[in-house]
Structure 1
């Protein structure tokens, strides 16, 4: 071979070697992705704080007692929450407070009990006016149709109202009762049994929930925004009791986490307005502070399982 040819081949081989060497060079490493550490959410458990609940209840009862002590006349009340089972009261078994128009719910419940819920159109109209408008003429008619005091005594015995006595003769407004029995009546209307069907109970509570606005005072003051209220109030002058007034209110206040039954009865009041103020003052104290009676405390979840 000629020298020129050898040099040409040598140059070609050298170029190939250089190219092969460049191709074999490793690619630069990719940067590693570094992730921030993730914090695990802490676990907590809620427990009833029994001690704090007892203390809150004692404070509320003390404050209500002070309030009642500064109000005129006689005042008694009872309260029961169907969700928590908590009850409050002062004089709740006093049975000599007249109901006045509060007895109209009793009349309708007795009418439904005796007729197995089969009311005619006229009776339904009378019932509606008696409860939503507190129409006394409608109450007179239905009181007579039920059988007046004798039949009402039997009705009270059948549904377990031991602290209620019907008014004499045609005077249904003279029915005497206790806050505890008003709450027992509400429980029957809510829970059923005692000869009242679901339809009967829905009718009574539905009418109590549609009481005309100017008569919706009283225990409704315990309601929070959005709560539903079903109530019946009573008010009457008492000319043979120094011209004083009897003013009463009882009903159900229902909302998130609460199904509160409340009855407040007053007597020997200087006027209707004073009685209403007293009732609403008690209802407002209970309604605004009832959640504090069931406080909770939190504790971390256990870190090791227990076997």
Structure 2
């Protein structure tokens, strides 16, 4: 399968106004091992999102926030974003504490919980659990998630692990994992637990989870990966679902890590009340591109 990743760089300030600049293209077979790949449940391949790029300048969080708000106001539905660059120390959030229905991004939380539980018991995931985990993350298999949510102790088990991970706004649903609530800020906290040596998770467990997130199905290359440059490593998990009892329209979320020379981004974009899945994916990709692109071109 061939895929084109196109990133349009806008020559302007953090507002994203002032169109035209550079076009970066990556054309070739989709690569594995975390190099611009994706995650969650099978949708058409996507275009890259607009990003802001220019010579290094002081980071203007206020201007970026204004730009993100202006964009989201023009879109149907709601959205929130949180991002941090582990290399530069820059962080940015807009509606980052807002609560959104998780859909399948909670599958990362389920697996992290299970890995932590097994670690504390002094054992590893069983062969069966590893097989289910691969299907749950790489393929976003819901039956596998059902089984592992049960193994983890359902909502109470995940909630206990989340206290260890430092999550603050996440509310695991008692039995139906996809109905759980979370925030972009909490998703970045969870990603930090996968990327940091200070995590309660041992290095082997962190690498295992990120490895699965970096080897998802080719057709799931959408979401925060739209903000990646060719050759950068991407590990991510996406989630989408039509919502009936907790809102309207579609919940569309994407969380992940983009790492390359000079940068190591942890980013989460969550959205809700999207009239269609396509609309939500476009919003998530554009917001990811705006934020990551601006942070690339800024200095602390």
Q: TM-score range by the shorter chain?
A: 0.7 to 0.9
Correspondence for 1:18: none
The answer to whether 1:260 aligns with 2:265 is yes
* Structure 1 position 62, deviation (Å): 2.5
The residue number in structure 1 matching 2:154 is 148
2:93 to 74, 89, 108: 89
2:69 counterpart (59, 65, 68): 65
- Highest RCO, 1 vs 2 (Cα 8 Å, sep ≥ 6): 2
Say whether residues 1:207 and 2:232 are aligned partners.
Answer: no
Secondary structure of 1:239's aligned partner: coil
Higher share in strand? 2
Alignment of 1:151-230 (within 5 A): 151-168=157-174, 170-230=175-235
Unaligned ranges ≥5, structure 2: 1-54
Q: Is the 8 A contact 1:78 1:263 kept in 2?
A: yes
Q: 1:80 aligns with which of 80, 84, 98?
A: 84
Which stretches of structure 1, 4 residues or longer, exceed 4 Å deviation after superposition? Answer: none
Whether the aligned pair in 2 keeps the contact of 1:252 and 1:260 (CA below 8 Å) is yes
Question: How much has 1:68 moved relative to structure 2?
Answer: 1.1
8 Å Cα contact 1:60-1:286 kept in structure 2: yes
After TM superposition, the score normalised by the length of structure 1 is 0.75
Q: Give the length in aligned residue pairs.
A: 243
The aligned counterpart of 2:36 is none
Provide the aligned C-alpha RMSD in A. Answer: 1.8
SS of aligned partner of 1:261: strand
**Does the CA contact (< 8 Å) of 1:224 and 1:287 recur in 2?**
no
- Residue 151 of structure 1: CA displacement? 1.1
Q: What TM-score, normalized to structure 2?
A: 0.77
Match among 247, 250, 255 for residue 250 of structure 1: 255
Structure with the larger helix share: 1
Tell me which structure has the larger Cα radius of gyration: 1
